[in-house]
Amino acid sequence: MAPTVSTNPLRDPRDRRLPRLPDASALVVFGATGDLARKKLIPAVYDLANRGLLPPGFVLLGFARRDWSDDDFAQFARESAEKGARTPFREEVWDRLASSVRFVQGAFDDDAAFDRLVSTLEELESSHGIAGNAAFYLSVPPSAFPVVLKQMQRTNLAAKGASGWRRVVIEKPFGHDIASARELNALVDDVFTPSGVYRIDHYLGKETVQNLFALRFANTLFEPIWNSQFVDSVQITMAEDVGIGTRAGFYDETGAARDVLQNHLLQLLALTAMEEPVSFSAETIRTEKIKVLRAVSLPDDLDRYAVRGQYEQGWLAGERVAGYLDEKDIPADSHTETYAAVRFGIETRRWAGVPFYLRTGKRLPRRVTEIAIVFKKAPHLPFDQTDTAELGNNQLVIRVQPDEGVTLKFGSKVPGSAMEVRDVAMDFLFGEAFTEALPEAYERLILDVLLGDATLFPNNAEVEESWRIIDPLEEHWASTTPHRYRAGSWGPAAADDMLGADGRRWRRP
């Protein structure tokens, strides 16, 4: 008689106090010695271990060119975790993790190296009980995607019939236009099953972005006015105070629109404008986001409502910084934009007539990402004009980073004998409302990959729809010269004129 399988009567699957733990598995990081692995991936893995969210059979397996042993990679991982981890570094946690760190040396076009990788995973099945479960993180340049994927296909690493599960994580950019995106999608789908592909956009892993779901759909306060009857406009801003750093080669070929607008900002737009899903499953949320992206319209006058800029030398935090053309390895005649601002429309019943203004730029005054819902002014104010001279539009601002939280801006009477109404703000800060520190985005996303939860990962259709929106902008800009703006300013004057033509102005974060 077969043994009776019993379940823990004290564990209810609805109980959110008990964390979800992945199956015993390996996280294989291609390009394991690069900046992304050192600064983000390895610290995130350590933080997950420190929070008790990794299974006992978890293995971190690095693959890179350096002639390292397992101990060399373990030392590199330790230094990365000590420097970049969000949670306190604890020796006992590291000792448990270090015992499951492995390294395979080789180039991406080295058949023997991939054969060794296959052998190593097979050994781990018996030594750590990973049962064929492996997630492959492509922390490599986009040009290396095809060769890595073809090696995985050759060695059967991603075989659809393999024991356990096999998943692949792909970092942006997902192509450089719709044609290359479709080519990459076809290659990935030829190697992995669609359910095993995770295109990572780290912005979707941020708690404040996910809080959009709770803000809109768990409350009755906001959703009734989340439409064109009450909303005047929406502004989505991603500003960076840094320059291009060591990314000159990549950035000069990419530019701000392809680097940020096509993925981060359009994803934020889709989450802001989507209808309520029937459930919080990956498929239903993706369906609602795709509906929004398919409804996005470009302005008729791209010269006025699609502005790009390039920073010149200026001052930031009391220091003089070089202009883009003076950055190392940037051609003196480069027309690559470091700033992009566009007005989009969404042709749905909910959002018809509401402009969505998106902007991103480097060398702006401060690092900030926010979504600002700007409401219409009251149709009739029983006040003299002087009473409300300092009253602006009501605003609901979701701060994605830094100072994560929500601000509600509304009018209030100034104490005194006169009737004077002025803007005031009501603030909610994650750091003050909750005792638990916010997890880093890569923590959430790596854990979701290991759990097989694809809710926060764009699929093929979302990527291609995003390129459908961006490609006409790139074609229009190809024959133009970007406007200049001083480093430390909020962008070119043309971007202010864009909103000024509509009788609006940018919100100052």
Domain of residue 257, CATH code: 3.30.360.10
What is the arithmetic mean of pLDDT over 187-191?
Answer: 85
CA distances from 450 to 71, 73, 446, 453 (A): 25, 22, 6, 8
Mean pLDDT rounded to a whole number for the chain: 86
CATH of the domain at 88: 3.40.50.720
E strand intervals along 339-482: 339-346, 356-361, 368-375, 395-401, 405-413, 421-429
Has residue 190 been placed in a domain? no
Range name among 26-35, 168-177, 448-457 with the lowest pLDDT average: 168-177
In a domain, 193, yes or no: no
Mean pLDDT of 184-194: 84
- Compute the average pLDDT of residues 374-384: 77
Burial of 14 (0-12, 13-18, 19+ CB in 10 A): exposed
Q: Does one domain contain both 350 and 210?
A: yes
Strand ranges in 276-367 using DSSP code E only, listed in sequence order: 296-297, 306-312, 314-316, 319-321, 339-346, 356-361
What is the token pair recorded at 480?
Answer: 């133009």
Active site residue 264: yes
Active-site residue, selected from the candidate residues 128, 176, 264, 380 = 264
First to last CA, the chain: 68
Task: Verify that 152 and 270 share a domain, yes or no.
Answer: no
Q: What is the pLDDT of residue 208?
A: 79
Same domain, 125 and 213: no
Stronger pLDDT, 387 or 381, i.e. the higher one: 381
- 200 pLDDT tier (thresholds 50, 70, 90): confident
Residue 182 lies inside a defined structural domain of this protein: no
pLDDT at 347 > cutoff 90: yes
Confidence of residue 8 (pLDDT cuts 50, 70, 90): very low
Least confident residue range of 155-159, 381-385, 414-418, 485-489: 381-385
Say which residues have a Cβ less than 8 Å from residue 13's Cβ, sequence separation at least 6.
Answer: none
For residue 35, being part of any structural domain is answered with yes
Name beta bridge partners: 136. 28, 168
Rounded Cα gap, residues 266 and 275, in angstroms: 16
One domain, residues 92 and 240:
no
- pLDDT-derived band of residue 174, with 50, 70 and 90 as boundaries? confident
What value does the mean pLDDT take over residues 224-244? 93
Q: Tens digits of per-residue pLDDT, 37-56?
A: 999 999 999 999 998 888 88
> Which token pair is 327?
């950055």
- Inter-residue contact 369 to 355 (CB < 8 Å): no
> Do 167 and 221 have their domain in common?
no
Choose one of 146, 171, 196: the last residue of a domain.
Answer: 171
Q: Is residue 194 part of a domain?
A: no
pLDDT, residue 385, reads 62
Rounded average pLDDT over 424-439: 76
Q: What is the pLDDT of residue 393?
A: 85
Q: Contact 302/494 with Cβ under 8 angstroms?
A: no
> Which distant-in-sequence residues (6+ apart) come within 8 Å of 22 by Cβ?
54, 55, 58, 447, 450, 451
Based on the domain organization, do 49 and 94 belong to the same domain?
A: yes
Task: Pick the last residue of a domain from 125, 152, 171.
Answer: 171
Same domain assignment for residues 228 and 355: yes
Q: What is the DSSP letter of 223?
A: G
Query: Are both 162 and 292 inside the same structural domain?
Result: no
Q: Which of 118, 151, 171 is the endpoint of a domain?
A: 171
User: DSSP letter at 37?
Assistant: I
Q: What's the pLDDT score for residue 2?
A: 40
Strands 405-413 and 395-401 come out as: antiparallel
| Same domain, residue pair 211 and 142 | no
Determine the Cα–Cα distance for residues 425 and 115; give it in Å rounded to an integer: 60
Q: Which two tokens stand for residue 257?
A: 């629109």
Query: In this structure, is residue 434 part of a structural domain?
Result: yes
For the full predicted model, state whether its pTM sits above 0.95: no
pLDDT of residue 1: 42
Is 483 inside any structural domain? yes
Residues 166 and 213 in one domain: no
Domain containing 133 equals 3-171
- Identify the pLDDT of residue 11: 47
The tally of domains found in the chain comes to 2
Q: What is the pLDDT of residue 201?
A: 80
Let me know if residue 280 belongs to a domain: yes
Residue 371 and residue 418 share a domain: yes
